Amino acid sequence: MKTIGVLTSGGDAPGMNAAVRSVVRTALSMGMKVMGIRRGYNGLINGDIAPMDVRDVSEVIHRGGTVLYTARCPEFKTEEGIEKAVENCKKFGIEGIVVIGGDGSYRGARDLSLKGIPCVGVPGTIDNDIASTEYTIGFDTAMNTVVEMVDRLRDTTQSHARCSVVEVMGRHAGHLALQTGIAVGAVAIMVPEIPCDVENVIKKIEHTRKNGKEHFIVVVAEGVEKSVGEIAKEIEAATGIVCRATVLGHVQRGGRPSVRDRVMASYMGNAAVELLRQGIGNRVICYDRGEILNRDIYEALQMKKPFNVDGYRVADTISL
């Protein structure tokens, strides 16, 4: 391939810039041209595309967000949308694309590949919910942000002997909630993958209260049916402990990427371009037991990510 494109799509994640930088510099070092496609698949449909050179990705490795911007693009799910994208690929000479995003973005990449534009997916989402990889760019930074925020909450929760019920992101997945819940010593963790009534949480709080505990943190994934406000009210009504609900929200998606995210993004971006250079598309980059590998995009989209049930049990056991 002589010219490749790169785009970021779906929810942004810290480390996406490091991935873009790696893609651009790897491709340039191999003698290929790189076209930056802005605002996810929107840019491909609207022709919001421009060449990128080595200095266009200077001073971005340490920045959150994405210099290419990102978007959700419903039009790309239509036949006309894809056709426009293919036309623009031809117009700009784009022979293959690195798509940095989550599962949804991979589906778009699969559809584009079916139309003859080979794509390679790079996993980028703070949710770490892509089945084909153990790790997604942004997860580590988001975990650290959550822990920093909850540590602050802990101070005031402890001073007032209250219970803080904290919502962390994860519309469909509790991986972020589990890891951060363990890291902050939450008394209970609620995730969409494991049924858990508020009654169980109340029992746990009462049990630890008998053991002398005076303040409580409950971590709840966004995907859990009840809101943190409702959960807090129920706990307060049953226990008499004053509860406060906090939604951490989009603060979790921003900030300087951690070392892990910068390094993973750099390796993954490089691996994606290496595939395209060999003329290999329709793959996704994965992290698997310490190695950066790649898988067929169709196979990757069929996979289901198991929830770490053992980790959940450990969290429950040690939160006494």
**Residues taking part in catalysis:** 127
- Contact region for ligand F6P (CB under 6 A) — 1-9, 88-96, 120-128, 291-299? 120-128
Closest by CA to 11, choosing from 65, 56, 55, 84, is 65
Q: Which residue is nearest to ligand ADP (CB)?
A: 104
Q: Report which residue type is found at 304.
A: K
Residue 111 sits in the site that holds ligand ADP (CB under 6 A): yes
Q: Which parts of 126-145 interact with ligand F6P (CB under 6 A)?
A: 126-127
Residue 12 sits in the site that holds ligand ADP (CB under 6 A): no
Residue 312 sits in the site that holds ligand ADP (CB under 6 A): no
CB atoms within 10 A of CB 51: 12
Of residues 11, 36, 64, 96, which one binds ligand ADP by CB under 6 A? Answer: 11
Q: Which parts of 182-201 interact with ligand ADP (CB under 6 A)?
A: none
Residue 73 sits in the site that holds ligand ADP (CB under 6 A): yes
**Cα 165 to Cα 290: distance, rounded to the nearest angstrom:** 34
CB atoms within 10 A of CB 193: 21
- Quick check: 98 and 5 in contact, CB under 8 A? yes
Of residues 125, 145, 246, 294, which one binds ligand ADP by CB under 6 A? Answer: 125
With tokens 């949480």, the residue in question is 201
Q: How many CA atoms lie within 13 A of 297 on its CB side?
A: 28
Residue 226 sits in the site that holds ligand ADP (CB under 6 A): no
Residue placing its CB nearer to ligand ADP in the complex, 246 or 252: 252
Cα→Cα distances 282→4, 131, 186, Å: 14, 16, 41
With tokens 């005031």, the residue in question is 156
**Cα 16 to Cα 4: distance, rounded to the nearest angstrom:** 17
Residue placing its CB nearer to ligand ADP in the complex, 111 or 167: 111
- And the tokens for 22? 């790696």
Residue placing its CB nearer to ligand F6P in the complex, 252 or 282: 252
Cα→Cα distances 269→2, 129, 138, 275, 313, Å: 17, 19, 14, 10, 35
- And the tokens for 224? 């859990």
Residue 42 sits in the site that holds ligand F6P (CB under 6 A): no
Q: Which parts of 95-114 interact with ligand F6P (CB under 6 A)?
A: 102
Residue 10 sits in the site that holds ligand ADP (CB under 6 A): yes
- And the tokens for 320? 């006494």
**Cα 34 to Cα 242: distance, rounded to the nearest angstrom:** 56
Residue placing its CB nearer to ligand F6P in the complex, 127 or 234: 127
Residue 175 sits in the site that holds ligand F6P (CB under 6 A): no
Residue placing its CB nearer to ligand ADP in the complex, 302 or 317: 302
Q: Which does 43 bind (CB under 5 to 8 A by kind): ligand ADP, ligand F6P, none?
A: none
**Cα 203 to Cα 178: distance, rounded to the nearest angstrom:** 19
Of residues 35, 68, 100, 169, which one binds ligand F6P by CB under 6 A? Answer: 169
* Residues binding ligand F6P (CB under 6 A): 11, 102, 125-127, 169-171, 222, 253
* Residues binding ligand ADP (CB under 6 A): 9-11, 41, 72-73, 76-77, 101-105, 107-108, 111, 125
